[in-house]
Structure formats: structure tokens, C-alpha cells
């Protein structure tokens, strides 16, 4: 019998396990996939160009993930910063969004400043903010429909990987607050997209798993059931059972809700996981012989009010001469791409990229995509978000343990929720809960 079990070897589960192991506890991590790292996955082109197919960035203020990168002596490199950004505004190329967009975002940042990220439902305006979708609010608040569309895609899309009509103003404000405001969240240099990790976040996950020691992480072991009583918790995979004093469930809420629990979880905890769908993103890397857009003085960073692509970044690496332009679609646009055949999708994406960086975009050497919504062990990205009207009723059930079951995952973080850093915060918090319940004394 181990002291504690952890379900999921993403960053949250690995961080929880590290905290427990460091406190001298016997731990086992059960992971459904044949790899660690959760929503992070890295692939390499033949010349060594690093493609991060899922999570990829870290930035200032993300103290926990930066500390781990230092601890495991992983290298980082900055996101490219050449030339000016591009805005596709109602079909036309511009250097920046019209000034009124900033004023609308300021309003949202103001809402964010007035709520407690640990309990957003306690804000005096919480009921009102949770009853209006971001899309509805933008339609009423933005000076024109293009601004509303642009900001819905930038904020609900770029931050939550969903459509503005699917999230409430409260959910959006909570997310902005958790990441320190729109400036910190949206900026490349100085913001959440500042740096990448050599080897990708996957390298960090592997270093964390290695630090746990041998035989701690069990791969290809999807958890199907969790039973608990006054004495212990029992976790079942298809083939095995594991006993412990406590378990940390560190998978997305919608997947946590699919495990069978005995006794059944309380109605409101189950109601929470029924109302926290994952975002829906399509992230595609278009690979070129060189980052040709730089010759035109363009950074490759673009945001678009229309079209299948919501935003792009230059994702080229310093050690390769190749150019990688990475395109993101979210929500309605991502789902439209998903419904296409692969050739039609490739054509639609490359068409959109020509609008952004010119006709050379059509001549990609490779177009590489990975669909996290189709992956049964993640079922979407970047993260889960509560549906409109749900925060007050179900939000209070996000973090509190249910008996011997403790909840982690980036969705349960109060700072940098949705990010690697939030995943680590959540794992460490859940581990502290578990340590608080374990008998003290020499392990």
C-alpha cells in the first residue's frame, strides 16, 4: 500500500507526486497514455526543428514553472521578435487594431480586478456577469460588429480556445484575473508567450517524472474507478487495483467526471464536471524553407477578425533556418476545420495564411496538426471553462476534496489557470492537502 495515488501524469499530477515524494511519501502515478506530459507533446522535424503540438510557452510571473525549468537545468529560448505585428481587420491588413479595442479590453480588465480568483462567484456583480455571454456583452459594448468579432476571437479564442458565445463575462474576467490581466496574458515578450523550453514542455515533464524515481509512474494505466471508505481509497485500472490513504485526481474536470466513483460523488461535484467543457482549438504548424515574412518586416504574429485562422505566431527556432508559422483556430472556426477533409483543411489554412503573410504562405513544405479534442485522454484544450450561469452554483465544488479524493489540474488553480504554471500550483496545493491528512512522523 502506498501513501498516495495520483491519477494523471500531466504537469499537475507530476507536481503533486514530486511534492509528496519530497515529503518522504510513497506515491504511485497512474497515467492513461504511454507517455507523461498531458496536454504537452513535442515533435521534431528531420533537421531538429522543435514543434510543440500542445502547450508551449512560459513567461515572467510564472514562478513555479520557471523554477522547475531551472531546477532541471533545461534551456529556454525566446519567442522570435522580428518586425511588426499584423492585424487582419474585416479582411484588410493593418499594423494594429483600432484604438477602441483597447478601451473595451480595459473594461474587462477592470471587472477582473474586482473579483477574487479563488472565489469569483463572490464578486458583487457575479450573477450579472455570469448571465451574459462574452459574445452578447461584446455585441452590446463594442463600438461596431468587427470590433466585437475581433475581441471575441482574441479573448475567448486566444485565451480559452472557445467562442465568445460559449463563455460568460464572469468566466472571462476570472481567467484574465488569474493570469494577471490581458497585458500579461496576450503579450509575447514580457507576457505569457515569452519563452519556449528546449525540448518542449515534454522535456520538463520527463525530467519531473525521472526525479520521482523508478517505478513511480505507471504508463498505459487508465483509471476507470475509484472507491473510498473510512479506511482507504482503492483505484482501479482495467487490470490492477491500487490502495492508498488518498488520491489526487489530476486530469481535466470533464475526464474526472467520467471515472466511476463509489460511493457516487455528491450531486454538485458531478454537476460541476457536467458544466466544464474543454476548449476546442486547432493548432497547425506550417513549415517553410525560411521565415520569409521577416524579409517584409513582419513578425508573423497576427490576429484576425475573420476567417478560419484566429491568430498566428512565428514559431521558428533559433537552431534551424526553417520558418514555422503556427496558426490557431478556436471554437466555431476550429470545429468548421475539424469537419473538413484533411486536404480541404490544409487548403483553407494556407489560404488564410496568404492573407496574413502573403502568397508565399501557400508553399508550405509541411503542414502538421494535432487535434487535442480527438484525443480521448485530454478531449480539448487549452483547458476547461465553466459554462454561463454555472459559477455560483458549481464553482464552490472545484477544489474541495471529497473524502480521500483531492482535485488537481490547471483548472483548479487560482493563478495562471489554464497554464503549465497553474497546473503546478494545483498539484502542489492538492499534495499539501494530502500531506495534511496523512499521519505525521517518520515515513
Q: Is 367 in the site for its own copies (CB under 8 A)?
A: no
Our CB check for its own copies shows the closer of 189 and 374 to be: 374
Minimum Å distance from CB 169 to its own copies?
Answer: 10
- State which H helix or E strand residue 38 sits in: none
How far is it, in rounded angstroms, from Cα 247 to Cα 233?
Answer: 7
Q: Is 300 in the site for its own copies (CB under 8 A)?
A: no
How far is it, in rounded angstroms, from Cα 153 to Cα 149?
Answer: 6
Q: With contact defined as beta carbons under 8 Å apart, do 62 and 192 qualify?
A: yes
Our CB check for its own copies shows the closer of 35 and 93 to be: 35
Return all residues near 79 (Cβ < 8 A) that are at least 6 apart. 57, 188, 189, 193, 194, 195, 196, 313, 314, 315
The residues in 388-407 that bind its own copies, with binding defined as CB under 8 A, are 388-390, 392-394
Our CB check for its own copies shows the closer of 207 and 221 to be: 221
Contact pick of 338, 367, 369, 438 for its own copies (by CB under 8 A): 338
Q: Is 351 in the site for its own copies (CB under 8 A)?
A: no
Our CB check for its own copies shows the closer of 346 and 392 to be: 392
Q: Is 39 in the site for its own copies (CB under 8 A)?
A: no
Our CB check for its own copies shows the closer of 122 and 321 to be: 122
Q: With contact defined as beta carbons under 8 Å apart, do 409 and 252 qualify?
A: yes
Please identify which residue in the block is written with the cell numbers 490547471: 410
| Grid cell digits, residue 134 | 462574452
Contact pick of 1, 73, 264, 442 for its own copies (by CB under 8 A): 264
The angle, 0 to 180 degrees and rounded to 10, between the axes of the packed helices 100-113 and 169-178 is 80
Contact pick of 31, 206, 371, 428 for its own copies (by CB under 8 A): 371
383-414 b/e (C-beta count within 10 Å ≥ 16 → b)? bbbbbbbbbbebbebbbebbbbbbbbbbbbbb
Contact pick of 94, 258, 363, 437 for its own copies (by CB under 8 A): 258
Our CB check for its own copies shows the closer of 14 and 169 to be: 169
The angle, 0 to 180 degrees and rounded to 10, between the axes of the packed helices 63-71 and 200-211 is 70
Q: Is 267 in the site for its own copies (CB under 8 A)?
A: yes
Tell me which residues touch its own copies (CB under 8 A).
127, 130-133, 135-136, 139, 163-167, 222, 224, 254, 257-258, 260-261, 264, 266-268, 270-271, 274-275, 277-278, 280, 331-332, 335, 338-339, 371, 373-376, 379-380, 387-390, 392-394
Amino acid at each position: 500500500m502506498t501513501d498516495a495515488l495520483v491519477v494523471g501524469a500531466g504537469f499537475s499530477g507530476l507536481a503533486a507526486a514530486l511534492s509528496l515524494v519530497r515529503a518522504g511519501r510513497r506515491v504511485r502515478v497512474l497515467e492513461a497514455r504511454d507517455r507523461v506530459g498531458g496536454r504537452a507533446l513535442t515533435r521534431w522535424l528531420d533537421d531538429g526543428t522543435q514543434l510543440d503540438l500542445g502547450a508551449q510557452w512560459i513567461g515572467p510571473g510564472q514562478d513555479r514553472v520557471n523554477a522547475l525549468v531551472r531546477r532541471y537545468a533545461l534551456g529556454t529560448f525566446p519567442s522570435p521578435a522580428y518586425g511588426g505585428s499584423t492585424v487582419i481587420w474585416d479582411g484588410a491588413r493593418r499594423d494594429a487594431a483600432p484604438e477602441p479595442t483597447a478601451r473595451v479590453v480595459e473594461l474587462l480588465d477592470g471587472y477582473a480586478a474586482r473579483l477574487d480568483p479563488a472565489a469569483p462567484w463572490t464578486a458583487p456583480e457575479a450573477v450579472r456577469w455570469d448571465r451574459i455571454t462574452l459574445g452578447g456583452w461584446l455585441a452590446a459594448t463594442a463600438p461596431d460588429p468587427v470590433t466585437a468579432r475581433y475581441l471575441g476571437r482574441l479573448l475567448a479564442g486566444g485565451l480559452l480556445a472557445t467562442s465568445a458565445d460559449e463563455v460568460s463575462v464572469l468566466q472571462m474576467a476570472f481567467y484574465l484575473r488569474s493570469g494577471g490581466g490581458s497585458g500579461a496574458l496576450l503579450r509575447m515578450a514580457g507576457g505569457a508567450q515569452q519563452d519556449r523550453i528546449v525540448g518542449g514542455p515534454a522535456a520538463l515533464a520527463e525530467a519531473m517524472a525521472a526525479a520521482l524515481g523508478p517505478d513511480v509512474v505507471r504508463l498505459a494505466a487508465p483509471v476507470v474507478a475509484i472507491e473510498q471508505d473510512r479506511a482507504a481509497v482503492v483505484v482501479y485500472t482495467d487490470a490492477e487495483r491500487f490502495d492508498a490513504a488518498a488520491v489526487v485526481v489530476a486530469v481535466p474536470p470533464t475526464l474526472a467526471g467520467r471515472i466511476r466513483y463509489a460511493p457516487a460523488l455528491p450531486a454538485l461535484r458531478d454537476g460541476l464536471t457536467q458544466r466544464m467543457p474543454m476548449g476546442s482549438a486547432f493548432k497547425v504548424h506550417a513549415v517553410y524553407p525560411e521565415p520569409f515574412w521577416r524579409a517584409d518586416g513582419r513578425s508573423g504574429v497576427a490576429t484576425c477578425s475573420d476567417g478560419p485562422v484566429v491568430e498566428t505566431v512565428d514559431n521558428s527556432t533559433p537552431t534551424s533556418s526553417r520558418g514555422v508559422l503556427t496558426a490557431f483556430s478556436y471554437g466555431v472556426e476550429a470545429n468548421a476545420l475539424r469537419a473538413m477533409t484533411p486536404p480541404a483543411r490544409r487548403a483553407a489554412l494556407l489560404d488564410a495564411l496568404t492573407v496574413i503573410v502573403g502568397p508565399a504562405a501557400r508553399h508550405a513544405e509541411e503542414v502538421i496538426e494535432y487535434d487535442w479534442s480527438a484525443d480521448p485522454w485530454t478531449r480539448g484544450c487549452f483547458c476547461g471553462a465553466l459554462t454561463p450561469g454555472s459559477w455560483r452554483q458549481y464553482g464552490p465544488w472545484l477544489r474541495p476534496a471529497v473524502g480521500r479524493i483531492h482535485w488537481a489540474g490547471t483548472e483548479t488553480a487560482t493563478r495562471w489557470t489554464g497554464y503549465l504554471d497553474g497546473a503546478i500550483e494545483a498539484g502542489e496545493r492538492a499534495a499539501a492537502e494530502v500531506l495534511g491528512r496523512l499521519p505525521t512522523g517518520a515515513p
